[in-house]
Amino acid sequence: MFEKLKRRWNISSSLQLTKILVIFALTGSSSAKLTGPIMKLSPVIAGLEPLYFNILYVIIGLIFYQLLLVVIGWIFGEKEFFMKFRKRIFSRK
């Protein structure tokens, strides 16, 4: 399975694959942890009905995820990989 990911992502070393998987994990966790408290800072958003709040939570969470993906990738030295990854995701039709 990992060899398939390495070929698909054009990665040569297992260490780089491990770093990338750790970055994905940290980004997802960080995005989920930051979205709620940031949204509750705005009284307008915090006062929304649960359905609308949850929809907005997902949208804002996805935005934070994309930003954090590049920032955390940059910290770990994998910014180039994640910039290409984001470009591939957004260019799909």
11-40 tens-digit pLDDT: 888 889 899 999 999 999 999 898 988 888
pLDDT for the residue 26: 93
Q: Which of 20, 38, 41 lies closest to 84 in space, CA to CA?
A: 20
The structure tokens listed for 71 are 């920032």
Question: Tell me, what's the pLDDT at 72?
Answer: 92
CA atoms of 93 and 6, how far apart (whole Å)? 24
Global pTM value: 0.78
Residues 35 and 61: beta-carbon distance below 8 Å: yes
The domain limits of the chain are 15-91
Place 48 in a pLDDT band, splitting at 50, 70 and 90. confident
Mean pLDDT computed over 59-80: 90
